[in-house]
Amino acid sequence: MMNLWIETLLDWIYPRRCLMCGRLLTVEERHICLPCLMDLPRTTFHLHPENLMEERFRGIFPLERTAALFLYEKGAAVCNIIYSLKYHDQPDIGVFFGRLLAWDILDSGFFEGIDCIIPVPLAPGRLRERGYNQAAMIARGVSSKTGIPVLETHLVRTRENPTQTRQSVRGRFENAERLFEVRHPEELAGKHVLLVDDVVTTGATIRACADALMACPDIRFSVLSLGCTY
């Protein structure tokens, strides 16, 4: 009762608003209001193995499954979720939506056989500036629901690279080439790794991660993200 009173008081002093529509949140709501939560443009990729995310990686690396929480379209309300996670110093958004994503697909068997979760590493300069890796926050949320361990040091970014935001499709792939390096590859040999990112667009970054991790014998992958573009 005391915690509820404190939360109500804090909401009065520092009003919390829905990331999508801006409506004031109730004490029970976190980051997104119930109507917007119900209206999320969910992908249901986990129920359809041959989905548009899977198409971006088919034949490129040993792929088991793909899933994303929502379809991501520039200018849509869901963009505010990713923007706030990355630029408004709110790492808890990643944890919250990582849990939501895991909860949504848990009963589908998506996580069966996955040995570990590896979030896409953030460039060192951006990590210092931001203070956290948004993909790692999502991964931690997924881990809290599934119990699958998160490995944040086995894949590292070897260099800074220009932002992908304004890159052409070709530019994104060239930008991501030889961008990552695997540490302790012997520990990942024969593992089923879940790669996690915030948004999958062309798939260039995920492909670069998998390319580096292919140094580990008999490794295979599944891919998970909050958003996926059309």
User: Under a CB-based contact definition with an 8 Å cutoff, are residues 41 and 70 in contact?
Assistant: yes
Whether residues 210 and 129 share a domain: the answer is: yes
Instruction: Tell me the chain's radius of gyration from C-alpha atoms.
Output: 18
Rounded to 5°, the CA angle 62-219-152 comes to 115
Residue from 38, 59, 40 nearest 50 by CA: 59
Number of domains composing the chain: 2
Residue 190 lies in domain = 40-229
- Two tokens at 197? 């990112």
Are 153 and 167 found together in one domain?
yes
49 and 10, same structural domain?
A: no
d(CA 62, CA 11): 47
Q: Is the pLDDT of residue 1 over 50?
A: no
Residues 31 and 79 reside in one and the same domain: no
Same domain, 107 and 27: no
The answer on 190 and 106 residing in a single domain is yes
pLDDT on residue 178: 77
d(CA 109, CA 105): 8
| Segment 174-184, tens digit of pLDDT | 555 679 999 99
What pLDDT is attached to residue 50?
A: 93
Instruction: Specify whether 93 is located in the same domain as 15.
Output: no
- The CATH number given to whatever domain includes residue 68 is 3.40.50.2020
140 Cβ contact partners less than 8 Å away, ≥ 6 residues apart: 94, 95, 98, 150
Same domain, residue pair 76 and 13: no
Is the domain of 115 the same as that of 5?
A: no
Q: Confidence band (pLDDT; 50, 70, 90) for 101?
A: very high
Same domain, 177 and 189: yes
- Other beta carbons within 10 angstroms of residue 117's beta carbon come to 26
In the chain the first and final C-alpha atoms are separated, in Å, by 45
70 plus 57 within the same structural domain: yes
pLDDT in tens, 193-221: 999 999 999 999 999 999 999 999 999 99
Q: Is the pLDDT of residue 78 over 90?
A: yes
Work out the average pLDDT over 79-84: 97
Q: What three-state secondary structure class fits 68? A: strand
The per-residue pLDDT for range 123-150, each reduced to its tens digit, is: 888 999 999 999 999 999 999 999 999 9
Same domain, 18 and 126: no
